[in-house]
């Protein structure tokens, strides 16, 4: 479950915040208060596939209130809407390699059964993977530009086979039948080799090399102890596979594997996990993203000289990703921070010109009124150092104390990061301090920290969250009796675990589609998670064995009679991961206690809310609930 992060309502952490600390340059600034509608007038823009002539970018945006396809000219002209879906979200995949046709993906109501669609230049769309119950995911273009790869579980609902789709006839051909529960990762440029992985536990997997011509499957990751392997790409010569691993190390580093000889060479490491790596189209550059202290640090390396390319710097954000065009003349930068939604910039390698393409923050909002997250650390019950991201309202002081929330990310295994999230800024803007905790078991802090909560959920990880209260109280600006807990998915589970197992620790709970019955959740995982099921059970417990006792004892639903504090629950009816029944039953059980409970159910959402109107309604209700039960009716 760690790698299949349910939802990362992302945020992060680093130094200590002094008691009552307050930015001096904000003291004289009168902070304006903004409505939930204003915060959700921000634009979300994802992706950025270059067109074949590199004149424009294909992106996904919720400008219309729901995600649709848009294009952005690289000359800085206005965003142009391409699709007009009013019911289902559409997510851009890519332009075609030699024309303006496009691919996008969509599902129904958030059910995660994704299909791949062709969007034609005449503005009509065709479902290229029209198998009703099958999930299909894009896996990249062939080097010869005549086809693309995708995986689908249409043959067997439990496993994903690899297909190649000819883009003239749009006839798919299966090129790898997956009968062993492996996961295809990357494909060589000559289509001869595939790198695959097999999950053992959430801390340990194996890597294989498949030869399409000989049908040989070679195990290439023999190792001792726990190690993860994450294939990234094959080079142009087809002789080398590059992959990430933490074999013999706390953090993941980049390795080059010789396909012919089996020799391995470490080519890049850091004191943090490398998240991703790729070579540009003609291998002039290598792009490496490092998960450094809750934010991404991007390196672009000139492969001819080995030198790092100097990248632009930004005052109100960091570069999160870099995508280099096929000509290797242009680079698309995604830039954002905790006070700035992600924006797109184009950088020209030759002229050094940097051009901003988007401005996603609602112009009605003054960015100076927002609060930058600060990375902090505190000690937990056993002395373990816990990282977190802290947001303190501008007007909070020893004389003007404010209520607070402990925020728990999704997962298990997610990470609170220094990223913009409108709900956090909305709550902080209305005088709620937030501590986004990276409890033990979170990603980004080494494999030892990552596995510390295995088979101990609702115990040691919950204690880490409870000890976050100590940090909040020690700032001197928090009302110590007005601290709540909030989270989505796994974070929602932690909310309910807190209210049931430690009912006196938090004043209120906000549960956003959280697990409440591990027995049902683990028995009802989608069939396409089959390759990961054993790893999931190894971490969480196997509901078909004597582990069922442990899972019962860590499921808040069976202890709902202990809840005494006000609760609000948000749920999507189409959620395939945390079923609606999880929230229905929890709400019914807690109401029997005579405890105030509010329940918001969205019939057209899944695991995570993507429609603006639902975000505005649901997240607005959260603040109303907090104002009533955590902030004394302010």
- pLDDT digits 0-9 by tens, 532-576: 899 999 999 999 999 999 999 999 999 999 999 999 999 999 999
| Whole-number Å distance between alpha carbons of 116 and 95 | 13
pTM, two decimals, is 0.93
**Mean pLDDT over residues 280-284, rounded?**
98
Tokens 């019939």 sit on residue: 603
Residue 18 has a pLDDT of 36
Question: Strand 354-356 and strand 374-379: pairing?
Answer: unpaired
Q: Is 171 helix (H, G, I), strand (E, B) or coil?
A: coil
pLDDT value for 184: 96
Instruction: Report, as an integer, the average pLDDT of 438-467.
Output: 96
The 10s digit of each residue's pLDDT in 577-612 is 999 999 999 999 999 999 999 999 999 999 999 999
**Is the pLDDT assigned to residue 3 strictly greater than 50?**
no
What is the token pair recorded at 414?
């997610």
Q: Delimit the CATH 2.40.128.660 region(s) of the chain.
A: 277-360
| Burial letters 206-215, b for 16+ CB under 10 A, else e | bbbbbebeee
Residue 101 scores a pLDDT above 90: yes
pLDDT at residue 112 tops 60: yes
Share of the chain above pLDDT 90, in %: 91
The terminus-to-terminus CA distance of the chain in angstroms comes to: 39
User: Pairing relation of β-strands 68-73 and 80-81?
Assistant: antiparallel
Nearest to 585, CA basis, from 609, 550, 552, 560? 560
Q: Give 73's pLDDT tier (boundaries 50, 70, 90).
A: very high
The DSSP result for 178-207, as a single string, is --S--EEEEE-TTS-EEEEEEEEETTEEEE
CA–CA gap between residue 485 and residue 494 (Å, rounded): 8
Question: What distance in Å separates the CA atoms of residue 334 and residue 320, rounded to the nearest whole number?
Answer: 6
Q: What's the pLDDT band for 619 if we cut at 50, 70, 90? A: very high
Q: What is the mean pLDDT of residues 191-213?
A: 96
Are the C-beta atoms of 1 and 455 separated by less than 8 Å? no
CB 346 within 8 A of CB 74: yes
For residue 75, CA distances in Å to 55, 121, 173, 357 come to 8, 21, 39, 8
Question: What are the residue ranges of CATH 3.40.50.1820 in the chain?
Answer: 24-38+365-629
Mean pLDDT of the residues in the chain: 93
Under 8 Å between Cβ of 356 and 315: no
User: How far is the C-alpha of 63 from the C-alpha of 81, rounded, in Å?
Assistant: 9
Gap between the Cα atoms of 431 and 477, Å rounded: 11
Residue 122, pLDDT score: 87
Residue 315: is its pLDDT beyond 50?
yes
Judged by average pLDDT, the poorest of 15-19, 218-222, 405-409 is 15-19
Does residue 228 surpass a pLDDT of 60?
yes
Strands in 229-234's sheet, in edge-to-edge order, are 229-234, 240-245, 253-258, 264-268
Residue 587 makes CB contacts below 8 A (sequence gap 6+) with 567, 569, 597, 599
Of 2-11, 76-85, 203-212, 510-519, where does mean pLDDT reach its minimum? 2-11
pLDDT tens readout for residues 174-194:
999 999 999 999 999 999 999
Q: Return d(Cα 414, Cα 437) in angstroms, integer.
A: 10
Per mean pLDDT, which range of 264-278, 303-317, 420-434, 473-487 is the poorest?
Answer: 303-317
Phi and psi at residue 147, to the nearest 5°: -160, 170
The SS3 call for residue 445 is coil
Name the percent of the chain lying above pLDDT 70. Answer: 95
Task: Give, to the nearest 10 degrees, the angle between helix 490-501 and helix 460-474.
Answer: 80
Q: Domain spanning 24-38+365-629 has what CATH number?
A: 3.40.50.1820
**pLDDT in the model for residue 121:** 86
Q: What is the pLDDT of residues 355-390, one digit of tens each?
A: 999 999 999 999 999 999 999 999 999 999 999 999
- Provide the pLDDT for residue 28: 52
pLDDT of residue 632: 72
CATH superfamily for domain 277-360: Uncharacterised protein PF15525, DUF4652 (2.40.128.660)
pLDDT score, position 633? 52
What value does the mean pLDDT take over residues 405-410? 97
Dihedral angle sign, alpha carbons of residues 181, 184, 190, 193: negative
Question: Helix 422-429 crosses helix 612-629 at what angle (to 10 degrees)?
Answer: 30
- In this prediction, residue 316 has a pLDDT band, given cuts at 50, 70 and 90, of confident
pLDDT tens by residue, 436-449: 999 999 999 999 99
Residue 328 pLDDT grade (very low, low, confident, very high; cuts 50, 70, 90): very high
Over 80: is that where the pLDDT of 10 sits?
no
Upper half-sphere CA count for residue 74 (Cβ side, 13 Å): 22
């Amino acid at each position: 479950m760690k790698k299949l992060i349910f939802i990362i309502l992302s945020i992060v952490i680093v130094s200590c915040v002094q008691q009552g600390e307050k930015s001096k340059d904000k003291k004289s600034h009168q902070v304006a208060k903004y409505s939930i509608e204003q915060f959700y007038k921000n634009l979300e823009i994802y992706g950025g596939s270059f067109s074949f002539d590199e004149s424009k970018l294909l992106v996904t945006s919720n400008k219309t209130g729901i995600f649709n396809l848009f294009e952005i000219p690289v000359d800085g002209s206005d965003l142009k809407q391409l699709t007009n879906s009013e019911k289902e979200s559409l997510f851009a995949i890519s332009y075609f390699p030699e024309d303006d046709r496009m691919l996008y993906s969509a599902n129904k109501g958030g059910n995660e059964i994704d299909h791949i669609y062709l969007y034609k230049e005449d503005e009509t769309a065709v479902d290229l993977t029209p198998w009703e119950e099958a999930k299909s995911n894009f896996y990249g273009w062939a080097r010869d530009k005549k086809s693309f790869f995708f995986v689908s579980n249409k043959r067997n609902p439990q496993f994903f086979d690899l297909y190649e789709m000819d883009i003239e006839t749009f006839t798919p051909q299966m090129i790898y039948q997956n009968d062993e529960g492996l996961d295809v990762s990357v494909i060589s440029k000559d289509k001869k080799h595939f790198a695959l992985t097999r999950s053992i536990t959430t801390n340990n997997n194996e890597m294989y090399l498949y030869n399409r011509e000989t049908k040989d499957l070679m195990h290439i990751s023999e190792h001792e102890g726990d190690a993860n392997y994450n294939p990234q790409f094959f080079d142009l010569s087809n002789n080398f596979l590059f992959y990430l691993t933490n074999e013999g190390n706390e953090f993941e580093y980049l390795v080059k594997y010789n396909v012919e000889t089996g020799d391995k060479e470490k080519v890049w490491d850091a004191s943090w996990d490398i998240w991703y790596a790729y070579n540009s189209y003609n291998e002039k550059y290598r792009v490496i993203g490092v998960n450094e202290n809750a934010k991404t640090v991007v390196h672009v390396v000139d492969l001819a000289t080995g030198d790092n390319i100097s990248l632009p710097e930004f005052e109100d954000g960091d570069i999160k990703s870099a995508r280099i065009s096929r000509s290797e003349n242009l680079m698309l930068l995604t830039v954002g921070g905790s006070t700035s939604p992600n924006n797109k910039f184009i950088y020209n390698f030759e002229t050094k010109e940097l051009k901003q393409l988007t401005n996603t923050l609602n112009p009605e909002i003054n960015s100076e009124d927002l609060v930058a997250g600060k990375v902090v650390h505190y000690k937990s019950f056993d002395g373990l150092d816990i990282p977190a991201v802290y947001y303190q309202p501008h007007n909070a002081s020893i004389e003007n104390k404010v209520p607070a929330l402990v925020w728990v990310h999704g997962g298990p295994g997610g990470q609170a990061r220094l990223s913009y999230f409108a709900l956090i800024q909305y709550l902080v803007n209305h005088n709620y301090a937030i501590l986004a905790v990276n409890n033990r078991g979170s990603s980004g802090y080494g494999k030892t920290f990552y596995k510390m909560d295995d088979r101990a959920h609702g115990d040691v990880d919950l204690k880490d969250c409870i000890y976050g209260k100590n940090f909040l109280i020690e700032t001197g600006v928090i009302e110590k009796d007005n601290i709540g807990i909030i989270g989505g998915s796994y974070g929602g589970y932690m909310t309910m675990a807190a209210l049931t197992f430690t009912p006196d620790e938090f004043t209120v709970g906000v549960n956003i589609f959280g697990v409440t019955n591990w027995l049902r959740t683990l028995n009802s995982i989608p069939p396409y998670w089959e390759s990961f099921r054993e790893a999931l059970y190894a971490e969480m417990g196997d509901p078909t064995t004597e582990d069922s006792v442990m899972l019962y004892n860590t499921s808040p639903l069976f202890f709902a009679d202990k809840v005494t504090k006000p609760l609000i629950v948000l749920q999507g009816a189409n959620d395939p991961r945390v079923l609606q029944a999880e929230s229905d039953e929890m709400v019914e059980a807690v109401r029997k206690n005579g405890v105030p409970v509010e329940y918001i159910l969205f019939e057209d959402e899944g695991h995570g809310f993507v429609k603006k109107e639902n975000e505005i309604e649901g997240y607005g209700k959260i603040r109303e609930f907090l104002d009533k039960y955590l902030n004394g009716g302010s």
